[in-house]
Amino acid sequence: MNVEDLLNNYSSLKGGRGTWESHWEEIAERILPRQTGFLGDRTAGEKKTQRIFDSRPMIALDRFANVMDSMMTPRQSKWHELSTNDNVLNKDASVKAWFYEANQILYDMRYSPKANFAGQNTERWISMGAFGTGCLFIDFMPGVGLRYRNVHLKDLYFGENHQGIIDVVYRSINFNARQAAQRFGEKNLPEEIKKALEDSKKSEEMFEFVHIVMPREDYDPNRADAKGKPWASIYVAVKGKEMVQEGGYTSFPYSISRYVTAPGEIYGRGPAMTALPDIKMLNEMAKTDIRAAHRLVSPALLVNDEGILGGGAMKIDMRPDAINYGGIDKNGRQMVQPLNTGARVDISEAKMEQRRTSIDDAFLVTLFQLLVETPRMTATEALIRSQEKRYVAHPHDGAAAVGSVGASD
């Protein structure tokens, strides 16, 4: 497949994702503001929390990520294990000893501080809770070992094979001219980027590159070069439409998790999409509650149409220790009264708490609470207890309660 075809596929994947991006942006603005930008680049340092009036959804998302990390990738235990496909061979003492050592090496490499797995994996769970899809890129750095990086969903475009497994990834990456030269070598860059590199005024200009990973069509297992790897790795410069690097992988380098997928959809749907109506309603209720509380604390004032001080102009000093002459009549009655609307802030708070509870349920916060309150309980036991509690509280939702906590390709 030539560069022109690759870029055409890239444009096609980008063009078919507009509905998803508006949905993701709506979620990010209300629950994960640091990952906005699906509908266009944001200015660095700009405020991103204008649409958030209640922090409960963000807290629920963080707890969801902690639940997933505790259940699926617990840091205190070896949750991964290598073995052969032969059960008889797996029982051999020497084979068991070899795999035990291999598992220990993999565990040490994965949780090495240089690998950065723990922090990036948490970001992956957060992305999956918010957008339904999370992705880790696993790279190997000479002299360092494994290196993990969570990739923002806005930069990723997927393709599935006939079995519904993601086997094609297009990833958008931006480098300035200097960074591109460091990454790919100056001689491999298109002429437009080389010129920018030589011009000090344009050396910081950003250029888009696309990393493409897909099954290699000309795979030859007998070769030792890139064509001997089953997965092709291609970097293309969009400016100039040139391939700047070609390589390969022995295994798929993108670990993609999808919470649930609807029929005919490639991208996942997460708890935030389920809870989005409650999240939006909670924010609107919080805004209303703030306005109501403001009116109670600092209400509008009712005055006689003649005003105070015997004139038509109303001049009321609301500062502490202020004296307002004419504020009472000769009989001691107040000439100024607060406007009492009869607003019940307590009722609003009760309704908001109902929304918060629904959001907590969507993000498995009940499961998180069980794990915290009963630290010796296994994650499986906590999941069962959580489902039982939910069924008791909502017996008609019993079938929905028994759902998977995540799916991974």
Closest CA to 152 of 183, 177, 120: 120
In a domain, 314, yes or no: yes
Task: Pull the structure tokens for residue 367.
Answer: 């499961």
* pTM of the model as a whole: 0.79
Residues 225 and 213: their CA atoms lie apart, in Å, by 16
pLDDT reported for residue 395: 42
Q: Specify if 142 maps to a domain.
A: no
With beta carbons less than 8 A apart as the criterion, state whether 361 and 390 touch: yes
DSSP calls for 38-67: TTSPPPTT----TT-S--HHHHHHHHHHHH
What pLDDT sits at residue 323? Answer: 82
In a domain, 10, yes or no: no
> 317 lies in a domain?
yes
Counted residue by residue, the chain has a size of 409
Amino acid at 203: S
Q: How does strand 156-160 pair with strand 145-150?
A: unpaired
Nearest C-alpha neighbor of 138 from the set 158, 173, 110, 107: 110
Which residue has tokens 């969801």? 64
- Which helix (H) or strand (E) segment holds residue 337: the answer is strand 336-338
Classify the phi-psi angles of 69: left when phi > 0, otherwise alpha if psi is within -120 to 50, otherwise beta: alpha
3-state secondary structure 258-301: ECECCCCCCCCECHHHHHHHHHHHHHHHHHHHHHHHHHHHCCCE
Q: What is the pLDDT of residue 318?
A: 79
pLDDT at position 403 is 36
pLDDT of residue 133: 96
348 Cβ contact partners less than 8 Å away, ≥ 6 residues apart: 285, 288, 289, 292
Q: Is residue 324 part of a domain?
A: yes
How high is the pLDDT of residue 366?
Answer: 80
- Residue 205: CB atoms within 10 Å: 15
Sheet containing strand 133-141, strands side by side: 145-150, 133-141, 254-258, 407-408
The phi and psi torsions of 49 (rounded to 5 degrees) equal -115, 20
193 phi and psi, to 5 degrees? -75, -35
Handedness of CA 294, 355, 357, 126 (dihedral sign): negative
What are the residues facing 140 on neighbouring strands? 146
Domain containing 310: what range?
Answer: 301-338
Rounded (5°) CA angle 349-272-285: 25
User: Would you call 36 exposed, middle or buried from its count of C-beta atoms within 10 A (0-12, 13-18, 19+)?
Assistant: buried
Q: Are strands 231-237 and 206-215 parallel, antiparallel or unpaired?
A: antiparallel
Both tokens of residue 276?
A: 């989005």
Question: Does any domain span residue 96?
Answer: no
Looking at residue 304, its amino acid is N
Is-contact 68 405, C-beta < 8 A? yes
What is the pLDDT at residue 11? 94
Residue 332 lies in a domain: yes
Distance CA 327, CA 11 (A): 71
- Number of domains making up the chain: 1
- Beta strands in 86-238, from DSSP E residues, in sequence order: 133-141, 145-150, 156-160, 166-176, 206-215, 231-237
Is the residue at 318 inside a domain?
A: yes
Distance of alpha carbon 31 from its chain centroid, rounded?
9
Query: pLDDT 10s per residue in the chain (409 long)?
Result: 799 999 999 999 998 898 999 999 999 999 999 999 898 877 777 777 888 889 999 999 999 998 888 888 888 788 888 999 999 999 999 999 999 999 999 999 999 989 999 999 999 999 999 999 999 999 988 888 899 999 999 999 999 999 999 999 999 999 999 999 999 999 999 999 999 988 877 778 899 999 999 999 888 888 988 889 999 999 999 999 999 999 999 999 999 999 999 999 999 999 999 999 999 999 888 888 877 777 777 778 777 766 554 555 557 777 888 887 777 877 878 878 887 777 677 777 888 899 999 999 999 888 777 766 665 666 666 666 655 555 444 444 433 333 333 334 4
How many helices (DSSP H) and strands (DSSP E) are in the chain? 13, 11
